[in-house]
Amino acid sequence: MSRESDFYLRRLHSLLGIIPVGLFVTQHLVVNHFATRGEEAFNNASNFMGNLPFVLFLEWFIIYIPLMFHAFYGVYIAFTAKNNVQRYGTFRNWMFLLQRVTGVFLVIFIAWHLYETRIQKALGTEVDFDMMANILDNPFMLVFYILGVLSATFHLANGLWSFCVTWGIAQSPRSQTIVSYITIIAFLALSVIGVQAIFAFV
């Protein structure tokens, strides 16, 4: 792959990670958080999202296709990246490594999550509060989902920092520090929303 092609593919990968994938992850966590208000509230929110006009078009062209490109190219980046945290154990080098590790884990987690929800729905199973409660009744799956949510929120928040740097939004050291604080707050806020939603099903 030429340097020019790699440059543009990485830019596209970064952009899709925030818009639309990052926005979808945030929306998905917020919808799941309705579980904290009870079974009926979650089912109503889930049904509303599932009955949007042109839902199949939205799912494929706003979620699945961008997500697949971001995931597959991200795996390529992860396994071709040169990690040097043993030699240079700086904060950003550790964030770089964790971004790759969480990305690979998320490919596995999202594939399993889609199997347990979207594919089961296609086979006739109702995707509702009871489905998620049954899944999370298993202690292993509970831990797996908590790790999945924390990986997703970290990957999104740290990816937002990388996006701002890659696209020239945060170029000076001061602006990058400010963005670091903003993304840490975003990570903590989304993590609380996501983990609270998980425990609401238990």
Query: pTM for this one?
Result: 0.94
- Show Cβ contacts of residue 137 under 8 Å, excluding neighbours closer than 6 positions: 202
Q: d(Cα 78, Cα 60) in Å, to the nearest integer?
A: 25
Structure tokens at 164: 């701002």
Q: d(Cα 48, Cα 150) in Å, to the nearest integer?
A: 26
pLDDT, average across residues 48-61? 90
Quick one: pLDDT at residue 179?
Answer: 96
Estimate to the nearest angstrom the gap between the alpha carbon of 83 and the chain centroid. Answer: 22
Is residue 113 over pLDDT 90?
A: yes
Question: CB count, 10 Å around CB of 22?
Answer: 21
Q: d(Cα 183, Cα 98) in Å, to the nearest integer?
A: 15
pLDDT tens digits for range 72-106: 999 999 998 776 665 665 888 899 999 999 999 99
**Whether 69 contacts 16, CB under 8 Å:** yes
pLDDT tens digits for range 144-188: 999 999 999 999 999 999 999 999 999 999 999 999 999 999 999
Nearest Cα neighbor of 161 from 179, 141, 147 is 179
Q: Integer distance in angstroms from the first to the last C-alpha of the chain?
A: 47
- Show Cβ contacts of residue 196 under 8 Å, excluding neighbours closer than 6 positions: 33, 36
Mean pLDDT of the chain: 93
User: Which domains does the chain show, CATH number per domain?
Assistant: 3-201 (1.20.1300.10)
Q: d(Cα 158, Cα 100) in Å, to the nearest integer?
A: 11
Quick one: pLDDT at residue 3?
Answer: 77
Quick one: pLDDT at residue 24?
Answer: 96
Per-residue confidence band for 1, with pLDDT thresholds at 50, 70 and 90: low
Q: Which value, to the nearest 10 degrees, does the dihedral of the CA atoms of residues 169, 25, 54, 45 take? A: -130
